[in-house]
Amino acid sequence: MDNEFVNDILNKLADGQLNEFRVTNEHFLTFRNILVIRPDFKHFQGIAQHGGDVIYRYMKEARS
């Protein structure tokens, strides 16, 4: 998983082209490191799954 791929996925989530995206435990740190530097970071919701995977969704309202 490279930076370009992660940014493409995050943009698709933000634009509504994807409802959710599952990140495996293996790729979590790479994905999160790119996510946290985005200006819309607080709009993304990560839902932890059994086994270390995380499902990300984009919310219209930023979390506090």
Over the stretch 21-39, which tens digit does the pLDDT of each residue have? 999 999 999 999 999 999 9
The rounded distance, in Å, linking the Cα atoms of 45 and 48 is 10
pTM above threshold 0.85: yes
Q: Which two tokens stand for residue 29?
A: 């740190």
Cα 23 to its chain centre, rounded Å, is 8
Helices (H), the chain: 3-15, 28-35
Does residue 63 register a pLDDT over 90? no
The rounded distance, in Å, linking the Cα atoms of 58 and 11 is 10
Over the stretch 5-19, which tens digit does the pLDDT of each residue have? 999 999 999 999 999
